[in-house]
Structure 1
């Protein structure tokens, strides 16, 4: 096991900058997830750590060693890809043992390591099968087993669950987290799925357009997002954003509604702001803000409703400048078109600068 230090790393393809001076410290044994939308640079950064992409500038250390010019095979890392990359003509046991055979490890050591990995991942009954005889989840476990037998300093995962169905992704999330808790190996994991990031990571690094927007523990990012991008990306359903400014009676939205404030930032009167409130922090009450129900989505344990001011009923539901999403624990009898009243919890709100997007409260 080892720490990973990324210092002012840049990457350009021709004249196009992709990674723009990223610095991240990853502690020994830590599970870090790089998350962000497609094209943000997270997979490129992972490939640079692995040695599969050259570094344009900066420095990457694995342990005490600078690995900028070290070949991938000598970095003592193991990578699990999205597409499994199993050899179809080899059995499960042969696939898992292949890297050790290339190193000419003793056969007894190979058998011991394969047996240990198979025990950890529940693959013992499948060792003589070929990849074509396995399910998607079983193939992913074989790919993980192939990484485990190498006993590397660092595990690298590149969106390993993207090809699995929703139910299997949930199960595999738990398996990967349990695997990390057992092995305690430093792990860097790339995904675009913020639910994976929230449920699995010790630390999340949110990337956007080649830079790090914020890094920290999952609940730290959820409770205190640094800016509008992080606030909108972390959390499902996404945080509601309402444009307006602070007035004498609270937050005055552009739609004309007034929303409650626990406290206003200094020198904020009339300043353009964005009022952020998560869907689960809105409740129904007779004293709330009047809105029209647009969509009701019952999920069983919760009811998700989308509402908006009555005067903006002609705007599409996808227009987040007017729509407000609420997640309610109770079932409601309302129907689309009905008028109800909602009240955000003022102690849970987030205020952002209307121009820079930075957090204010």
Structure 2
């Protein structure tokens, strides 16, 4: 196992600047997730750590060794790809043993390592089969097993669950997290799914347009986002944003919509701002603002309701079944202590 240190890394493809001075410290044994929208540079950063792309500038260090000029096979990393990348003509045993065979490792050592990984992942009954005979989840386990047998210093995962159905993704999410906790191997994981990031990571790196917007523990990013982008990206459903005026401890958006902003905002600058509140921080309350129900989406354990006040629309998420229908009126009130205010020009969170 080893730490990973990324210092002021840039990556250009011709005139296109993909990574713009990225710096991240990943501790030994830490599970770090790179998250962001498509095209933000997260997969490029992962491939640069792996050595599949060469950094245009900056430094990458694995353990105590700078690896910028070290070939991928000598970086002591193992990568799990989105496409599994299994050899169809090889059995599962042969797929898992392939990297060790290339190193000319003794056959008994190969057998022991493969069987140990197979036991961890529940693959022992499948070792004689071929990839075409396995389900998507089983193939993903094989790809993980092939990485485990190498006993690397660092695991790299590039959106490994994106080809699986929703139910299997949830199950595999738990398996990967449990596996990392058992092996305690430094792990860097790329996804665009912020639910994966929130549930699996020790630390999340939120990226946009080749730069890092914020680094922190999942709940730190949820509770204290640095800016409007992070606030909107982390959390599902997304945070509601309303533009208006902050005046005397309350927020006004249009003539009808007046919302509380809580005690911590009493000293905030007066004037134009963006009001942010998460859907789950609304409740139905007679003291709230009257809103027209537009859409109701019950899921059983929760009810998501889109409401409209004047020209403003926002989502409310209630942790119970709510007997409302489109066209009806309800009164909703946000938890003032959970409100965020953002600068309307820069998008930065007002402290």
Q: Shift of the alpha carbon at 1:324?
A: 0.8
Question: Match for 1:343 among 324, 333, 343?
Answer: 333
Secondary structure of the corresponding residue to residue 231 of structure 2: helix
Is 2:336 the counterpart of 1:357?
A: no
Q: Is the 8 A contact 2:268 2:350 kept in 1?
A: no
Give the aligned partner of residue 143 of structure 1.
Answer: 143
| Aligned positions of 1:76-95 closer than 5 A | 76-95=76-95
Measure the CA separation in 1 of the matches of 2:221 and 2:86: 36
Measure the CA separation in 2 of the matches of 1:261 and 1:192: 31
Give the aligned partner of residue 165 of structure 1.
Answer: 165
Under a length normalisation based on structure 2, what TM-score does the superposition of the two structures give? 0.98
Question: Match for 1:324 among 293, 311, 314?
Answer: 314
4+ runs deviating over 6 angstroms? none
Measure the CA separation in 2 of the matches of 1:98 and 1:249: 65
Measure the CA separation in 2 of the matches of 1:83 and 1:306: 37
Unaligned runs of 5+ in 2: none
Secondary structure of the corresponding residue to residue 79 of structure 1: strand
Q: Is the 8 A contact 1:249 1:258 kept in 2?
A: no
Q: Is the 8 A contact 1:222 1:235 kept in 2?
A: yes
Under a length normalisation based on structure 1, what TM-score does the superposition of the two structures give? 0.95
Give the aligned partner of residue 319 of structure 1.
Answer: none
Measure the CA separation in 1 of the matches of 2:64 and 2:256: 58
Measure the CA separation in 2 of the matches of 1:261 and 1:229: 20
What are the superposed Cα offsets for residues 170-196 of structure 1, whole Å, 9 maximum, x if unpaired?
000000000001100000000000000
Give the aligned partner of residue 242 of structure 2.
Answer: 242
Measure the CA separation in 1 of the matches of 2:166 and 2:268: 47
Q: Shift of the alpha carbon at 1:346?
A: 0.3
Q: Is the 8 A contact 2:82 2:160 kept in 1?
A: yes
Q: Is the 8 A contact 2:9 2:59 kept in 1?
A: yes
Unaligned runs of 5+ in 1: 313-321
Give the aligned partner of residue 270 of structure 2.
Answer: 269
| Aligned positions of 1:1-361 closer than 5 A | 1-248=1-248, 250-254=250-254, 256-263=256-263, 264=265, 266=267, 268-270=269-271, 272-309=272-309, 311-312=310-311, 322-361=312-351
Q: Compared with structure 1, are the counterparts of its residues 100 and 277 closer, same or farther at alpha carbon in structure 2 (3 Å cutoff)? A: same
Q: Shift of the alpha carbon at 1:266?
A: 3.5
Secondary structure of the corresponding residue to residue 164 of structure 2: coil
Q: Compared with structure 1, are the counterparts of its residues 33 and 267 closer, same or farther at alpha carbon in structure 2 (3 Å cutoff)? A: closer
Q: Is the 8 A contact 1:275 1:350 kept in 2?
A: yes
Q: Shift of the alpha carbon at 1:265?
A: 5.3
Q: Shift of the alpha carbon at 1:91?
A: 0.4
Measure the CA separation in 2 of the matches of 1:249 and 1:98: 65
Measure the CA separation in 1 of the matches of 2:313 and 2:97: 54
Q: Is the 8 A contact 1:243 1:254 kept in 2?
A: no
Measure the CA separation in 2 of the matches of 1:91 and 1:267: 64
Q: Is the 8 A contact 1:35 1:204 kept in 2?
A: yes
Q: CA RMSD in A?
A: 1.0
Q: Is the 8 A contact 1:291 1:340 kept in 2?
A: yes
Q: Is the 8 A contact 1:245 1:252 kept in 2?
A: yes
Q: Shift of the alpha carbon at 1:262?
A: 1.3
Q: Shift of the alpha carbon at 1:41?
A: 0.1
Measure the CA separation in 1 of the matches of 2:255 and 2:304: 22
